Structure 1
């Protein structure tokens, strides 16, 4: 993905992701093919810089720099350009989700 930089560390069943999204955007299309076309992983995180918008069936949650968040499975997301996150996710859930996301990115 253009403008994306990510580093990952797996430990005790969780993946810690340090991610930077230079271009930002709405990532909803990348979840196509997952149940309800939505991310199927839990995430706990912290927005270091920028803004994250989580689209959930019951409404949106906006998280800005300096704020922590939790989001359950069943969401899509949108990020402002330049957003930087630190995120913790169950490794197995994340891997299943990213397998589909990766296929969608490759086209």
Structure 2
């Protein structure tokens, strides 16, 4: 009745339609959340730019032991003192450049 190729195509098509449906629903939810956040910012309900509590540049890094940040000789980016390579251009840092 049906050959294996037809069954394979039907199953693949059905799975693709399910994945497309889930993807579209997710994208619609993301879009709605973005619109809601934009509306809240315009109305002043939330601050325009908020600090990330996990990543705070002003707080001391416990891994550096108070060492000053290292400046990359290649691009001039400021790096953590414990880094051996630049976070921007991957140039080697330290005495054995």
Normalised to the residue count of structure 1, the TM-score between the two structures is: 0.18
Larger fraction in helix: 2
Pick the structure with greater CA Rg.
Answer: 2
Relative contact order higher in (CA < 8 Å, ≥ 6 apart): 1
Larger fraction in strand: 1
Normalised to the residue count of structure 2, the TM-score between the two structures is: 0.19
